[in-house]
Structure 1
Amino acid sequence: MTLLPGLAGSYWMDSSPGTDFPRLDEDVETDVVVVGGGIAGLCTAWELVRAGLGVVLLEAGRIAAGTSGSTTAKLSSVHGTAYGRLRRSAGPEAARLYARSQQEAVEHAAAVAAELGADCELERVPAFVWTESARGVDRVREEAEAAREAGLEASVTLETGLPFPVAAAMRVEDQAQFHPRRFLLALAEDLVRRGGRVFEQSRAAALHRSGPCRVAVRDGGTVTASDVVVATHYPVFDRMLLFPRLSPRRELVVAATVPAGHDPGGIHINAEKPLRSVRTAPFPDGMRLLIVTGEPFAPGAGDVVRRFERLAEWTRERFDSPQIVYHWAAQDNDTADGVPFVGRAPGGDHLYVATGFGGWGMSGGVMAGRLLSALVTGGQEPPWTGLYDPRRLHLGREALPMAGYQAKAARYFVGDRLRGRSARAVAELPPDCGAVLHLDGRRCAVYRDRAGRLHAVSARCTHLGCLVRYDDAERCWACPCHGSRFGVDGSVLEGPATAPLERLEPPPEDAAGDAAGEPSPHDA
């Protein structure tokens, strides 16, 4: 059995204190309820409280512990090759607005960290987009030209600080990297000091909009408010009508210690496949933590252990004697036109949303907090409000991606039910392994733990009924349609699902069924 290197879990979580805010067990009233305690939700709540409004923030788990606790924390306006794509698809003005909004978010985050005295290790560094192939040189040059036209200080160079040669790289000054969880915990502390209320372990399960808005917590209380902000990473309320325009994906991270002298000095991401992103962070004993991201895949795609192994192999090949000490994964959503949805939600004057950051949620979340605060308070709207408006629909840019998203979901929804399956007995399931089996006329997600005990839950995702699949690296069930994730006990790990998978009696060892996917031993 192959052992994945390092601790399974995020360094940001391991190097910051936990939180213990109360659960919402009563009915409360406020001006604004913010659903979601990641960077977008916390920044929005903080901006609103600072503007003088009463705010209640609901978090299904612990604040700053989901995607925001598993990010690589690049605080940058350089988002891969976004500017060349935006200039081609939406025009130079859209690219300028995007650059200005994201760079202002970088500066605002740095100013807030200084104001709060947050010990978040914020470092100002350049950002690079590199290519190692001659084929990619023109793309890098196009991106640098588009970024300069958009207002960023971009140049083309062969010097990156990476320990391997590149064919070309775009360099942009005045970017940043930080410890995201320490920043967000400082924000939460100030939010509460200013009168905001935070409730953890309080999963929003229903939204009622007859009269004042009411958000009901599963098995808990209700918040009545004039306005609702949904910043749950993937919207948890179907009425927002954004599901056809979002596509979830996961990315893997390995983190290794390297001597400070081996720090490549900046934020780096490549312009080709396979995706690789590199940054460092301070680490004890004068070392630096090299954080390498890549291997994007759709939730439920399988073979996650092998993807981790490829990323670790690349890290060892490219850097001098890295000692891998952590590995983890994060999830985000792409929009059909490549621009996040931040603003008034479709179909609701008092309903707002922030989602679809495409892997760039640090600057995007800070930007969202400022934009949503202006909309809710009736303040002066920033010039990029229309760019991010969730009610926009540009069929010329979105039709093909949207069709692809829906075809994928339909393929999973129907294909998992119709494809041929080979007979498999429960007894064949190895320890620390899961599989979806067709037993007694229903799909069962069956996991055998390391001690040999069986755990069974319904395989139907509680969001829209797709069949879940087993993730062999993270020991969980993942829905390939919209990205919901569940523990082996059926508990919700990630939305949009808000209800757990139905628990079932473990099947007998001699039960035989049709396997809906090969079991994958966990190699971590």
Structure 2
Amino acid sequence: MDLQSGYPYSLVKYGLPNDYPKLDRDLRTTVTVIGGGISGALTAHALVQAGIDCVVLDARTVGLGSTLASTSLLQYEIDIPLTRLMQKIGRVGAERAYRLCADSISTLAGISKRLPGVPFEMRPSLYLASWQKHLPLIEAEHKARRAMGLDVLLWDADTVKHTIGFDAPGAIYSRTGAQTDAYLLTHGLHRYNIKKGAQVYDRTLVTDIQCHKKGAVLTTATGHTVRTRNIIIATGYESLQYIREKIVNLRSTYAIAGEHSETAMPWYENCLIWETKDPYLYMRVTTDHRILAGGRDEKFYNPARRDKLLKTKTRQLEQDVRRRFPHIPFHAEFSWTGTFGSTQDGLPYIGEYPRMPHTYFALGFGGNGITFSQVAAEIVCRLVQGKKHPDAALFSFSRYKG
């Protein structure tokens, strides 16, 4: 599956931080994680922390799928606002989903401290009303988030203008947010996990899975086998080959990174910025003082069409940044495009899939896939141990409505 193209900022800046071997022999293990991107790396980290023997298999070179296209904003907000999610799944479930994402940011901060060379910075976020008609949404969201205990402030138009420097009808300012680099975080996790006993193999395509009473046998394209008690599939959008139901709608998205600047703080607190419009524009500032922006999504998955639009989308995103910050000289130095998806309720799918025995899924779909991937890692780690998890039902496949 063609998941990204162009010149992703992380690959240009960091190259290939690590090399991993191909699987060239037969193996036995307790858990096999299929997928070595950010979801698979976080899942393997949870497993090794729990003392569970695991092997990670990736069909590509590690990190060169959706992980590489990530713009690495860490927010508790999901693609569906809290107030609308309450209407879909009820107040209790909606608040729990938002709380889990908020808590996962702190968890990821703790994990990153153990990973040398992985950037991680706590950052406030600003959720802007794109138009006056969106102001009631912002006000309702602020009220709902405060009611569940999130640290948020409601900014009016004057506050936005005075603090950030451009016009917007209003915004929600939140202290709970962060930024990282998903590509480096993935490699940092694998390095740590390997030291703890995990095995990681890339360029190793699993072509067949045979489940039996006590586990499963995986066969690779080169004919080697992995005998395992449990399987965790963390291949993101490529997991759809295993699932009959259409649980996710694929989209094409675009991102740019500007030139390096000597200006350390282009805007207030270098906060993460995103908007209410759909598709929304989002921006952040990298550790080397580049403005990174993304959005301009298209509602299709077609690599040829997606890639053909890259130049146009790059130009449009440049204009979006300049429109918000006309005083900042901005030119896109790198641009790329990738695939992402949305679900019916904005939530990921995590846990058992009835059609595949001994198999669990850790699928962090949506705009905040990294935080959901951490949530998934914690849930599936408990499940493979034969334990229940109190949040498993919130993300289960049973909620799908065809």
Q: TM-score, normalised by structure 1?
A: 0.69
Q: Are 2:384 and 1:376 equivalent residues in the alignment?
A: yes
Alignment of 1:224 onto 2:216: no
- 1:448-463 matches, within 5 Å, as none
Give identity over the alignment, percent.
Answer: 22
Larger Rg: 1
- 1:35 maps onto 2:37 in alignment: no
- Per the alignment, in what secondary structure is the counterpart of residue 342 of structure 2? strand
Distance in 2 separating the partners of 1:340 and 1:134: 31
Shift of 1:341: 0.2
For 1:521, the equivalent position in structure 2 comes to none
Q: Over aligned residues, Cα RMSD in angstroms?
A: 2.0
Could you tell me which residue of structure 1 aligns to residue 296 of structure 2? 295
Find the aligned partners of 2:280 and 2:361 in 1 and give their Cα distance: 29
The alpha carbon displacement at 1:349 in A equals: 4.1
Displacement of 1:356:
5.2
Q: Match for residue 251 of structure 1?
A: 253
Task: Determine whether 1:328 maps to 2:336.
Answer: yes
- Asked if the contact 1:101/1:384 (under 8 Å) is kept, the reply is no
Equivalent position amino acid for 1:254 in 2: I
Shift of 1:50: 1.9
Question: Residue 11 of structure 1 is aligned with which of 9, 12, 15?
Answer: 9
1:213 aligned onto 2:216? yes
| CA distance, structure 2, for counterparts of residue 117 and residue 198 of structure 1 | 17
Within 2, Cα distance between the matches of 1:164 and 1:346? 51
Larger mean CA deviation between 263-272 and 294-303 belongs to 294-303
- 1:387 corresponds, among 383, 394, 400, to 394
- Inter-CA distance 336–34: structure 2 relative to 1 (3 Å threshold): same
Paired position in structure 2 for 1:317? 323
- Aligned residue for 1:438? none
Note if contact 1:344-1:391 (Cα within 8 Å) is conserved in structure 2. no
Give the unaligned 5+ runs of structure 1. Answer: 1-6, 400-524
Q: 1:324 to 1:335 in 2, by over 3 A?
A: same
Match of 1:404? none
The Cα of 1:238 is off from its aligned counterpart by: 4.0
Instruction: Give the secondary-structure state (helix, strand or coil) at the position aligned to 1:391.
Output: helix
Is the CA contact 2:79–2:366 (under 8 Å) kept in the aligned structure 1? no
SS of 2:378's equivalent in the other structure is helix
The answer to whether structure 1 residue 52 and structure 2 residue 51 are counterparts is yes
User: What residue in structure 1 maps to residue 140 of structure 2?
Assistant: 142
Q: 2:277 aligns with which of 272, 284, 307?
A: 272
User: 1: distance between equivalents of 2:242 and 2:336?
Assistant: 32
- Give the secondary-structure state (helix, strand or coil) at the position aligned to 1:282: coil
Give the Å deviation of 1:117.
4.0
Find the residue that maps to 2:397 and give its secondary structure. Answer: coil
Deviation at 1:11, TM superposition (A): 1.5
Supply the distance in 1 between the matched residues of 2:44 and 2:107 (Cα, whole angstroms). Answer: 15
Gaps of 5+ in 2: none
Distance 1:325 1:263, change over 3 A: farther
Give the distance between the partners of 2:267 and 2:65, measured in 1 at CA: 27
Tell me, in whole angstroms, the C-alpha distance in 1 between the residues paired with 2:282 and 2:357: 39
Q: Is the 8 A contact 1:132 1:165 kept in 2?
A: no
2:356 corresponds in structure 1 to 348
3-state DSSP class of the match of 2:99? Answer: helix
1:482 corresponding residue in structure 2: none
Indicate how the Cα distance of structure 1 residues 380 and 111 shifts in structure 2: closer, same or farther if over 3 A, else same.
farther
Equivalence for 2:126: 128
Amino acid at match of 2:139: R
Q: Tell me the CA shift for residue 74 of structure 1.
A: 0.9
Aligned residue in 2 for 1:519? none
How far has the Cα of 1:317 moved from its partner? 3.2
- Partners of 2:378 and 2:254 in 1: how far apart? 29
Residue 260 of structure 1 aligns to a residue whose secondary structure is coil
Q: What does the per-residue CA deviation read over 1:61-113, in whole Å, with 9 as the maximum and x for residues that have no partner? A: 12222211221101120235531221111111011210221112111100111
Deviation at 1:17, TM superposition (A): 4.7
SS in 1 for 2:88: helix
Q: Deviations over 1:383-411 (max 9, x none)?
A: 32111112323x4xxx5xxxxxxxxxxxx
**Matched-pair contact (CA < 8 Å) for 2:255–2:293:** yes
> Take 1:356 and 1:194, find their aligned partners in 2: how far apart are those partners?
24
Residue 89 in 1 paired to residue 88 in 2? yes
* Contact 1:132–1:166 (CA under 8 A) maintained in structure 2: yes
Question: How far, CA to CA, are the matches of 1:373 and 1:144 in structure 2?
Answer: 34
Contact 1:338 1:358 in 2 (8 A): yes
Determine if contact 1:46/1:191 at 8 Å carries over to the other structure: yes
Deviation at 1:135, TM superposition (A): 0.5
Q: Contact 1:78/1:127 (CA < 8 Å) preserved in 2?
A: no
Aligned match of 1:261 in 246, 262, 265? 265
In 2, Cα distance between equivalents of 1:299 and 1:199: 28
CA contact (8 A) 2:318 2:330 kept: no
* Shift in CA distance, 263/369, structure 1 to aligned 2, threshold 3 Å: same
CA distance in 2, matches of 1:68, 1:262: 26
Structure 1 residue 190 displacement after superposition: 1.1
Provide closer, same or farther for how the CA distance between residues 147 and 241 of structure 1 changes in structure 2, counting only shifts above 3 A. farther
**Pairs within 5 Å for 1:473-492:** none
The answer to which of 161-170 and 335-344 deviates more is 161-170
Q: What is the distance in 2 between the residues matched to 1:215 and 1:312?
A: 46
Give the match's secondary structure for 1:107: helix
Report how far residue 261 of structure 1 moved: 3.3
Distance in 2, matches of 1:29 and 1:81, equals 41
CA distance in 2 between counterparts of 1:70 and 1:245 reads: 21
Counterpart secondary structure, 1:15: helix
Contact 1:137 1:168 in 2 (8 A): yes
How far does the alpha carbon of each residue in 1:227-252 deviate from its partner, in whole angstroms, 9 at most, with x for none? 0011111244644334x121111210
State how far apart, in whole Å, the 2-side matches of 1:238 and 1:329 are. 22
The worse-fitting range, judged by mean Cα deviation, of 347-356 and 136-145 is: 347-356
| Residues 81, 271 of structure 1: 8 Å contact kept | no
CA distance in 1, matches of 2:144, 2:265: 33
